[in-house]
Structure 1
Amino acid sequence: MGTRFGERLRRERLERGLTHDQLSRDLCPPGLISLLETGRREPSCELVRSLAGRLAPAPPGPGALLAALRAEQAWDEHDYAQSAGHALAAAQLALAAGDRLTRWDLSCLQAECLMSQGHPRESKHILDRLVDDVPAPDPAGTELRCRTLLAEACTALGEHAEAIAHAREALRLATSHPAHPAQQAAATRALATALAEADDTDEAWAHCRSLEHLLDAGLPARAAGEAHWTIGNIAVLRGESGRATAHHQRAAELLMPLQDMQLWARFNLDASAARLSRGIADPFILAMIEQAETALAATGGSPLEHLHATLNRAQWLYLRGGTAEAAR
């Protein structure tokens, strides 16, 4: 279970000046609210509906908030298609109610879900509209999320100059205003990756050093795993295979498959491709290829991900001398 649902629930509760006891009255034990807000307990669908009704009893009613809570709950459960649907519904309801900030925030979540499903172009289409219409003030740091996601989408689409520009702005926002270390790490990762894709591995490596400092300061497991993943990829590009292996192994330990099978598949696909691109074809890469194939078999995966997995397998066979087998 993730923490996105709990974070939104806590934010909505505090905005209304409610205590745990006031929110839970006649709905659930008071201690359950604390467990929900910290991600230590999963809510039932009925409880989510009841909480939304308690938090938004007046017109226009709980519709937008209920959809928002369901979107965050689906994200925590790694059901990105369902999360995107609820986020779209919440954004539309918020727009109809004149709640521009909530509409903006949930549209950003929809775009994030699309990226997680391997649809960068659709994600970028939403984000391009959002970045030109940033709400002020922006207490939740939504522009930072938007810029970071835009950098990732542009990198995936090969639009390197635009990716670097968005990532630089995201990092500026993360360092000039109070930001959660995980948000700063995400912006730093986006910039390092965009620079590496544009063949500027020297500056990319400088940002990897910043990621290492953030790791030393402590990051949540997923953010730490993604930081190790990025550092490992860029270390491969710099020819530092030993350091790359150490970071990729640490990423594999942190990005546990039972936590998010889709993320696990993307990590193994991407990290093995990075190493294969430098002619490395050791047993560690074969293990990553097999783990990606297993994860895709479990999740379904997109056609592009399956093609990526097939190409990785073929390249590994070729580098190991199995030319005929690779050509099949």
Structure 2
Amino acid sequence: MTLHSASPSYAAAELRAYEHRTNHAFIQAAGSADDAAQIARNEGDMDAWWNMTFLKAENLLDAEEFETCAALASELADGPYATTDRHAKAGAYILVAKARQGAGLLEQAVDAARAAVQLVSDDDAGVDVEIDVEIDVKARQALIASLADSGRLEEAWTECLALAEAVSAEVDDQLIGKVYWVIGNVAFLCSRVPEGLRYHELAAATFSPARNLDVWAKFNKASAAMRLAADIADADTLRCIERAELATDVIGGSANDYLLMRLNRAHWNFLAGESNAAIELLEQIRADLETPSPQILGEACLLLGRSHAALGNADEARKYLQEAAEHFDKAGAPQRAEQAVEFLSDAP
């Protein structure tokens, strides 16, 4: 973090923003970043204004204010005060992609992520190699995640191979771990289960709870979800679930973090033959959702339908599987919608 030195009031607002962010107080961090941005604008420093507005958008993303984040990041990329620096512009597009993905607007997420990748790939003139590789990796990660969520798995796997080639010695270990993580995710989704397990093992070897407990928690939560989606309900999967729950209890988490962990628990219960316990958890999830994304609703309804089908509750199974298909269609995830329809055709 390099603090701007234009004025004491700017420096104080910027410092508050970073302190709030360190403490995971993302809404407060966004507010302080906005204060710093306004001071910078009043002082005529538009570079500092852009940087602080970007920080505000990052915090809005982490606070799961997806629509507000996407609108702000879009302004930073293409608005009247958009930057001409391609790395910064690519960073703004990555934020748009992640926010659209969080909101379940998957086609828009893919478009924004492609724009980021294109920006980084187009210009190879004298640039800082380390920065160039890092932003390239982050852009490809965003593209792969949005392609995978929308069910375009062959495209996602092709991008994974390109991403694997982009990784080099210049990339930080934590970022390499995230690369292995996302490639493993797509391998699981493509039914390449041995490759998925291998890449997630490589990722786990780079992450440490002592170095970054937040990343450790998120990785274990995501790895558990991928294992469960592949119907792997073994001791390693349970260990991932428990690690994520324990770490999140220590550091706290967003509403989405807790939601996904409860989905994992419900999925575990279902695969363990405890369908009633799964249904109870999933009904709680549906009741607690205030502004659910269609993707999350689709996953919950899909599990509800399968759990009811396992208990022979034909009417309930059909109802929830039909809802799942509708939610996945709305999210722009046709492959998941097709899976829901397949389960529907097999329902009792």
TM range (shorter): 0.7 to 0.9
Deviations for 1:118-160, whole angstroms, at most 9, x for unmatched residues? 4433322321332332646634722111001111111121111
| C-alpha deviation, 1:322, in angstroms | 2.5
Counterpart code for 2:263: L
| C-alpha deviation, 1:219, in angstroms | 1.3
Question: 2:238 aligned with 1:286, yes or no?
Answer: yes
Which residue of the other structure, out of 212, 217, 225, is the alignment partner of 1:265? 217
Q: CA RMSD in A?
A: 2.4
Which residue of the other structure, out of 274, 292, 296, is the alignment partner of 1:322? 274
1:175 and 1:68, CA in 2 relative to 1: closer, same or farther beyond 3 A? farther
Instruction: Report the counterpart of residue 194 of structure 2 in structure 1.
Output: 242
| C-alpha deviation, 1:207, in angstroms | 1.1
Show the 5 A alignment for 1:191-202.
191-202=143-154
Show the 5 A alignment for 1:80-119.
81=26, 83-119=29-65
What's the TM-score, normalizing by structure 1? 0.75
Which residue of the other structure, out of 224, 248, 256, is the alignment partner of 1:304? 256
Question: 2:81 aligned with 1:129, yes or no?
Answer: no
1:100 and 1:322, CA in 2 relative to 1: closer, same or farther beyond 3 A? same
Unaligned runs of 5+ in 1: 10-51
**What CA distance in whole angstroms lies between the structure 1 residues aligned with 2:15 and 2:122?**
30
| C-alpha deviation, 1:78, in angstroms | 5.8
Question: 2:177 aligned with 1:225, yes or no?
Answer: yes
1:80/1:114 contact within 8 Å kept: no
| C-alpha deviation, 1:302, in angstroms | 2.5
Which residue of the other structure, out of 157, 161, 171, is the alignment partner of 2:103? 157
| C-alpha deviation, 1:246, in angstroms | 1.6
Counterpart code for 1:261: L
**What CA distance in whole angstroms lies between the structure 2 residues aligned with 1:97 and 1:69?**
18
**What CA distance in whole angstroms lies between the structure 1 residues aligned with 2:65 and 2:208?**
23
| C-alpha deviation, 1:217, in angstroms | 4.2
**What CA distance in whole angstroms lies between the structure 2 residues aligned with 1:245 and 1:218?**
25
1:233/1:275 contact within 8 Å kept: no
1:323 and 1:275, CA in 2 relative to 1: closer, same or farther beyond 3 A? same
Identity %: 31
**What CA distance in whole angstroms lies between the structure 2 residues aligned with 1:217 and 1:185?**
13
Which residue of the other structure, out of 116, 133, 143, is the alignment partner of 1:181? 133
2:133/2:167 contact within 8 Å kept: no
1:137 and 1:160, CA in 2 relative to 1: closer, same or farther beyond 3 A? closer
**What CA distance in whole angstroms lies between the structure 2 residues aligned with 1:220 and 1:91?**
29
Kindly indicate whether structure 1 or structure 2 has the higher relative contact order, using CA contacts under 8 Å at least 6 residues apart. 2
Question: 2:160 aligned with 1:214, yes or no?
Answer: no
Tell me the secondary structure at the aligned position of residue 109 of structure 1.
helix
Unaligned runs of 5+ in 2: 281-348
Question: 2:123 aligned with 1:171, yes or no?
Answer: no
Counterpart code for 1:211: L
What's the TM-score, normalizing by structure 2? 0.71
